[in-house]
Amino acid sequence: MNLINLTPVDLIIAALLILALAYLSQRMSLGMSNTIIVAAIRTTVQLLLIGWVLKILFSHVHLAWVALMALVMLLAAGREVMVRQQRRFSGWWGFGLGAGSMFISSFVITVLALMVITSSEPIPWYEPQYAVPLLGMLLGNTMNGVALGLDRLKEGAWQQRDMIEARLSLGENGAQAMGPIRRDSMRVGMIPIINAMAAAGIVSLPGMMTGQILAGSPPLEAVKYQILIMFLIGAGTGFGTICAVHFGAHRLFDGRDRLRLDRLYARQPKSLFSYIAKLTQRRTANN
Amino acid sequence: MSTLRIKSLQNTVIQAGGEAYNGLAPVNLELTTGECVCLSGASGCGKTLLLRAIADLDLSQGQVFLHERAREDYSGPDWRKRVAYLAAESAWWDERIRAHFPGRRIRYMEELGMDLTLLSRPFKSLSQGERQRLALLRTLNRQPEVLLLDEPTASLDPDSTQRVENIIQRFRSERGVTVLWVSHDPKQIKRVSDRHYQIKDGEIKLASSTKPKAKTKKKSVSTKRRARKFTVEKEVSV
């Protein structure tokens, strides 16, 4: 089996499909056509960029470069978690809680996995060919779990504050009063990855395995990698979510076990488009 | 002997931007053991905020003492267990009513005109009045030393209201429980309170006192004027 190299023409044909979708949504006035096109452009540019970065990284194998890459990925994932929250922690907690939890779970698990995989090979454990995709997949999935769990936690605390304060008034501490919401949030964060594990191979062919098979790997080799990845992201997502929800719930109370919802603030509706709209408005106003 | 002593207590409200402002002017109040003090005032004047500040549910400035021990000497949960705040609207966290009560025995159900079958009924089928009495029961079963009641009889019929007043009276006389009671009903205030304070324009003022202080009680003759004077002084200092 040989890898068929894709030509620009192949990609352009695929792009035409997206354009057709954008056109259709324009006709149906779904208000999505701009979003679709911007997302497609982002995909193209970001993936080309990362392909280029990986190419350079693979030819200059050095721990410092890999670490820098990992840091950039972590910061991006931390930002993504923060952006997805309806209510955010004020101050550094807004960013730090998500990023910290992902750092603890994803990085530890990635490093452990790399050490094991590369132990019998004559390559360094930080070999970027393995390190970067592994970390990427772990971060991507952990990010989902952490974002879902934290969002549920804060939304739950906000909506059920009367219930929480009723428990506090009866002399319970913050952890007891938050118990049901905390359990619920952890569950919500972990369910997607558990479902993915349960449905893998029957309902869906996981993307990584599909990619490897497309690229010419023997199916059983691809399957072994996929099982490894599934376990790693399952563990990473679970630990990351538990960590984030635990410390998030802790942060909602102060030293005297008072519910401190003032540490949250609601997200202002802010998007790229409203930003562009504001800019153009300003420009027309100036003219 | 004062059970609860409140010294220039003031709510601190933190808003999203981090700005702080105070809901009510600093409050000074002393409650003796077994005393019942009523609070009244227009909606939104800060009665509930004051109770929440005393229970340490909200951030506040100033000091509160229980048996002359500062609030900071107790942990938050321990303080709230002793100085129990009963919110105007009850909140429940479990479909089973029984799960809200610690221990094996639930006491004072009959006194409040309820029987045990109520505990096995689905939560949704309980009326507002039943929920309100169950919430009081939930608090009483944890044996508090001070009760901060926020309109505990607001949705009760006259008979249930009477029962609630009776059981609070019993807690006061038998256990020396001290009560701070927010009520809108002048007749109820007259029935249950030793002293009555009104909140007006952000200030808390003594409106009536049926029982002069223990010290002035003995000098029964010609103390009416002094008592009044005392009242006026109190008004100024409070």
pLDDT digits (tens, 9 = 90+) for B17-55: 555 555 677 888 899 998 999 999 888 788 888 899 899
Cβ–Cβ below 8 Å for B57 and A169: yes
pLDDT for res A210: 86
B228: pLDDT strictly greater than 70:
no
Reported confidence tier of residue A186, pLDDT bands at 50, 70, 90: very high
The minimum CA-CA distance between A240 and chain B, rounded to whole Å, is 27
Reported confidence tier of residue A282, pLDDT bands at 50, 70, 90: low
B89 at interface of A, judged by CB pairs closer than 8 A: yes
CB-CB: which of A167, A169, A180 is closest to B84? A169
Size of the A and B interface in Cβ pairs below 8 Å: 68
Cβ–Cβ below 8 Å for B85 and A169: yes
Which chain B positions have a beta carbon within 8 Å of A259's beta carbon? 57
Average pLDDT score over residue span A160-179: 93
Average pLDDT score over residue span B160-173: 91
pLDDT for res A235: 93
pLDDT for res B229: 39
At A130, give phi and psi (nearest 5°).
-100, -40
Cβ–Cβ below 8 Å for B78 and A171: yes
Cβ–Cβ below 8 Å for B16 and A90: yes
Reported confidence tier of residue A216, pLDDT bands at 50, 70, 90: confident
User: When comparing pLDDT for B216 and B142, which is higher?
Assistant: B142
Count up the domains in chain B and report the number. 1
Which chain B positions have a beta carbon within 8 Å of A169's beta carbon? 55, 57, 80, 84-87, 139
The minimum CA-CA distance between A143 and chain B, rounded to whole Å, is 26
pLDDT for res B221: 40
Cβ–Cβ below 8 Å for A162 and B76: no
Give residue-wise pLDDT tens across range A5-41: 888 898 999 999 999 999 998 888 888 888 889 999 9
Q: Rounded distance, CA A149 to CA A287, Å? A: 47
CB-CB: which of B16, B77, B87 is closest to A166? B87
Largest CA distance in chain A: 70
Give residue-wise pLDDT tens across range B87-129: 998 899 888 888 888 877 888 888 888 888 888 888 888 888 8
Reported confidence tier of residue A163, pLDDT bands at 50, 70, 90: very high
A223: pLDDT strictly greater than 50:
yes
A239: pLDDT strictly greater than 90:
yes
pLDDT for res A102: 93
B131 at interface of A, judged by CB pairs closer than 8 A: no
B2: pLDDT strictly greater than 70:
yes
CATH number of B190's domain: 3.40.50.300
Which chain B positions have a beta carbon within 8 Å of A180's beta carbon? 93
DSSP H or E run through B133:
helix B128-140
Cβ–Cβ below 8 Å for A169 and B87: yes
Cβ–Cβ below 8 Å for A256 and B16: no
Average pLDDT score over residue span A244-256: 94
B88 at interface of A, judged by CB pairs closer than 8 A: no
Which chain A positions have a beta carbon within 8 Å of B59's beta carbon? 258
**What angle do the packed helices A93-102 and A128-159 form, to 10 degrees?**
130
B139 at interface of A, judged by CB pairs closer than 8 A: yes
Average pLDDT score over residue span B126-133: 89
B93 at interface of A, judged by CB pairs closer than 8 A: yes
Cβ–Cβ below 8 Å for B57 and A171: no
Asked if the structure places residue B66 within a domain, the reply is: no
Asked if the structure places residue B85 within a domain, the reply is: yes
Reported confidence tier of residue A175, pLDDT bands at 50, 70, 90: very high
What spatial distance separates the first Cα and last Cα of chain A, rounded to whole Å? 62
Nearest residue in chain A measured CA to CA from B139:
A170
Average pLDDT score over residue span B74-98: 90
pLDDT for res B222: 41
Q: Which of B 171-210 lie inside 8 A of A, CB atoms?
A: none
pLDDT for res B215: 44
Global ipTM: 0.82
Residue ranges making up the domain that contains B130: 33-55+76-237
In whole numbers, what is the pLDDT of chain B averaged over residues? 81
pLDDT for res B212: 56
Nearest residue in chain A measured CA to CA from B93:
A163
Give residue-wise pLDDT tens across range A192-206: 999 988 888 887 788
Percent pLDDT > 90 in chain A is 49
pLDDT for res A149: 94
pLDDT for res A263: 87
DSSP H or E run through B69:
strand B69-70
pLDDT for res A269: 55
Asked if the structure places residue B61 within a domain, the reply is: no
The number of CA neighbours under 13 Å toward the Cβ of B37 is 24
Cβ–Cβ below 8 Å for A262 and B139: no
Cβ-based neighbours of B89, under 8 Å, separated by 6 or more? A162
Give the pTM.
0.81
pLDDT for res A176: 92
The minimum CA-CA distance between B14 and chain A, rounded to whole Å, is 6
Cβ–Cβ below 8 Å for A170 and B81: yes
A90: pLDDT strictly greater than 70:
yes
Asked if the structure places residue B12 within a domain, the reply is: no
Cβ–Cβ below 8 Å for B76 and A258: yes
Q: Which of B93, B100, B132, B150 to mutate to test the interface with A (most CBs of A within 10 A)?
A: B93
Give the distance, in angstroms, between the CA of residue A18 and the centroid of all CA atoms in the same chain.
Answer: 24
Nearest residue in chain A measured CA to CA from B135:
A166
Cβ–Cβ below 8 Å for B80 and A180: no
B76 at interface of A, judged by CB pairs closer than 8 A: yes
CB-CB: which of A173, A258, A266 is closest to B56? A258
Asked if the structure places residue B7 within a domain, the reply is: no
Q: What is the DSSP string of A133-175?
A: HHHHHHHHHHHHHHHHHHHHHHHHHHHTHHHHHHHHHTT--HH
pLDDT for res B97: 85
Average pLDDT score over residue span B204-209: 84
Reported confidence tier of residue B218, pLDDT bands at 50, 70, 90: very low
